[in-house]
Amino acid sequence: MSILMNYSDQRFIEISQVIFEEQFRRDPKLEEEMDERRKKLMYDDVIYNISFLLTSIHFKDSKIFEGYARWIYDLLCNLMKDIDRDRIMEHMVDHYNIMAEILSSSSGDMLSHDEINLAVEYLGIAVEVTKKAVTDVQLSETFMNGDYYEIRRAYLNAILKSQTREAYKIIDNAKESGLSILDIYEQILTKAMYEIGLLWHKNVITVDREHYATSVTQTVMSSFYNELFDKPRVNRVLVSCAVGSELHEMGIRMISDVFEFNGWDTYYLGAALPKKALLDAIKEHNPDLIALSVTMPPYLSTCEDIVKSIKEAFPNLKIAVGGQAFKNTDALWKKWSVDFYSESSDDLIAWANEKIKK
């Protein structure tokens, strides 16, 4: 005997209530995430979910519930932008698992044995579809084009799914398969971070996911340290920093690492360094090259000022500038007395190794 679509059937209401309450019991974090309005909507959703499942079972057509699971996941991601996609996946997977347990154990008088089996099967499909949907996001052309797409995609997927160990493993495997530090930095990590930025900008991921991506990527970068400092020295010195109150410092740290890997002695001074401290550091380390990085356009004028001061105090010191702030300018660096600009670390190291010799 089926209760298909009979919303007023008391058994239907009772089972929805039990599923709803069980989910809150098992996952106390839900109380913080769901205000009263959301709780009400969530309860309504339990009823919809059961009715779609029962329809699917009635027609013995798994596609009905599978399509619904994908649809409801996208809907919830759009409605609850403050909760990350990965967490919403957890909500739904828990929900489907609880539904399967409760329908199997307590719906004997509502569903036949065969119907219960179908319910469990279709809910299993919904779990898989929902897990897959976490990484099913629209990616930019830049991310999809170019070498090592598969590795970059796997790395991004691991970050979107909170799989920290997997992310490290992907980079370890890439290293083992012979990818250079330059390729890993430029083709995997930089492109993945740019994509994370775009997904945040489009409101597809939350800001905490962006912060998590940053911390995973910084840890990945530090895993290169043993190799970096092992390289034969070439007796050349780089001083580098991010300019102004710039907090974006991963790019310039990459530059510094790449130089260290090429045998240069590097002094990476981080971000938010006062001009006087930078000039003192130049005096102390006597570099062959200084690399300045700007991501946020408001710090371009700070960079211009620093470039002028460095050239006044150290006229022969070579200066390179870079970072995303320059990308949307009309070749601004050409108006300054800098020696080199490029969009990436590989061009800079190639230029420096060729032009700066001792």
Strand partners, 81: none
Q: Which two structure tokens, joined as six digits, stand for 21?
A: 């309450």
Cα distances (Å, whole numbers) of residue 355 to 21, 337, 340, 351 = 69, 17, 11, 6
For ligand B12, give the closer residue by CB, 98 or 294.
294
CB of 203 to ligand B12, least distance (A): 11
Measured from the CB atom, the residue of 13 and 247 that comes closer to ligand B12 is 247
Give least dist CB 214 to ligand B12, A. 4
- The least distance separating ligand B12 from the CB of residue 163, rounded to whole angstroms, comes to 19
Alpha-carbon gap, residue 159 to 153, rounded angstroms: 10
Nearest approach, Cβ of residue 289 and ligand B12 (Å): 9
Closer to ligand B12 at the Cβ: 72 or 348?
348
**Beta carbon nearer to ligand B12, 237 or 320:** 320
Q: Which residues pair with 322 in a beta bridge?
A: 293
Structure tokens at 262: 């090429």
Q: Which is nearer to ligand B12, 97 or 302 (CB)?
A: 302
The kind and range of the H/E element at 348 are helix 345-355
Binding interface with ligand B12 (CB under 6 A): 186, 190, 193-194, 196-198, 201, 210-211, 214, 245-252, 254-255, 291-293, 295-297, 320-324, 342-345, 348
Minimum separation from the CB atom of position 124 to ligand B12 (A): 36
3-state SS of 107-144? CCCCCCHHHHHHHHHHHHHHHHHHHHHCCCCCCCHHHH
What three-state secondary structure class fits 327? coil
Calculate helix-pair angle for 10-26, 85-106, nearest 10 degrees. Answer: 130
Q: How far is the CB of 125 from ligand B12 (least distance, A)?
A: 34
- Provide, rounded to whole angstroms, the least separation between the CB of residue 162 and ligand B12: 17
DSSP SS3 for 339? coil
Instruction: Specify the residue, 20 or 261, whose C-beta has the smaller distance to ligand B12.
Output: 261
- CB of 174 or CB of 255, closer to ligand B12: 255
CB 172, min distance to ligand B12, A:
20
Nearer to ligand B12, 135 or 240 (CB): 240
Question: Measured between alpha carbons, how far is 324 from 14 in angstroms, rounded to an integer?
Answer: 57
Mapped to the 3 state alphabet, what secondary structure does 44-63 carry? HHHHHHHHHHHHHHHCCCHH
Tell which phi-psi region holds residue 238, choosing left (phi > 0), alpha (psi between -120 and 50) or beta: beta
d(CA 319, CA 304): 11
What amino acid is encoded at 198 in this protein? L
Which of 165, 169, 90 minimizes the C-alpha distance to 131? Answer: 90
CA distance 239 to 256: 8
Which CB sits closer to ligand B12, 52 or 268?
Answer: 268
Rounded Cα gap, residues 196 and 202, in angstroms: 10
Shortest distance (Å) from residue 236 CB to ligand B12: 15
Q: H or E element: which one contains 319? A: strand 318-322
